[in-house]
Amino acid sequence: MTEFEPADPAPPGVDPTVASPARVWNYWVGGTDNFAVDRETGERVRDAMPFMPMLARYARRFLADAVRQLAVDHGVRQFLDIGTGMPTAGNTHQVAQEIAPGARVVYVDNDPSVLAQAGALLTSSPAGRTDYVDADLRDVDAVLAGARRTLDFSQPIAVLFIAVLHFIPDSDDPYRIVQRLLDAVPPGSFLVVGHAAGDIQADVVGPAMDLYNQRSAAPISLRPRDGVARFFDGLELIAPGVVPLDQWWGPGEVEPSAVGRLSGYAGVARKP
């Protein structure tokens, strides 16, 4: 992948003067698919919230670990990754198809920068399949129509929302969006959520997110644990449940500087 620079022609639909959530996140995880405005925004947020890049890296680790766990322990072979973000190392299809070469993965995003790089998400193993759906997750009908081109909705599907539901304000009813998607998948399917927390280091995170929201094309809605746990209503939670991100792993599996500082929640649950 090559780094976008404002002096170069931007991909169609991409505004290089406004920070993109996908590109800022890409910068935090060490990627190069970002503009100067994204790096500046990322640095300003990091000045206010120094552990933000570490949070982004652990969120990425959670994605890979959740996909691996579902593929190995639960035999899941289909993944619907919504709010994909910029391609980077350890994409969902790479993790899933390393375990099960026949796994099928559909990515969904509506950021023009992600669309411009979507080719990196379509490098499936010969036995598997990958696809990309250019859609806003709020348009559930479009998401499902696109996903059905590749996924078999009579078989279990893991629906992934990693660092994306906090971009959906309560006024757009994110809980209803998630429920409609879960209604479409069969029993034995899974929901995976990583979500920004409003009640972990709130004195630091709140001001930092206010700064982010002033500069980003898509503002963030922080939610407390109860607000995140609500996405799993009616589902069977997988241990350790809905927990702060640093508690998803066991003792000693998280670097000491991350303990108590990762202001996000993680959870995985099965549809009965």
Q: CATH code at 74?
A: 3.40.50.150
Q: What is the pLDDT of residue 9?
A: 61
Q: What's at 183, amino acid-wise?
A: D
Note whether residue 92 is domain-resident: yes
Note whether residue 258 is domain-resident: yes
Domain that holds residue 192: 21-270
- Per DSSP, helices labelled H in the chain are 21-28, 36-48, 52-73, 92-99, 112-116, 140-147, 174-184, 202-215, 225-229
Note whether residue 44 is domain-resident: yes
The number of domains in the chain is 1
Report d(CA 30, CA 251) in Å as an integer.
Answer: 26
Whether the predicted pLDDT of 7 surpasses 80: no
Lowest-confidence pick of 30-34, 54-58, 163-167: 30-34
Note whether residue 156 is domain-resident: yes
| Residues of the chain by 3-state class (helix, strand, coil), percent to 5 | 40, 15, 40
Whether the predicted pLDDT of 108 surpasses 80: yes
Q: What is the mean pLDDT of residues 49-78?
A: 95
Which tens digits make up the pLDDT trace of 196-245? Answer: 999 999 999 989 889 888 887 788 999 999 999 999 999 999 999 999 99
Whether the predicted pLDDT of 5 surpasses 70: no
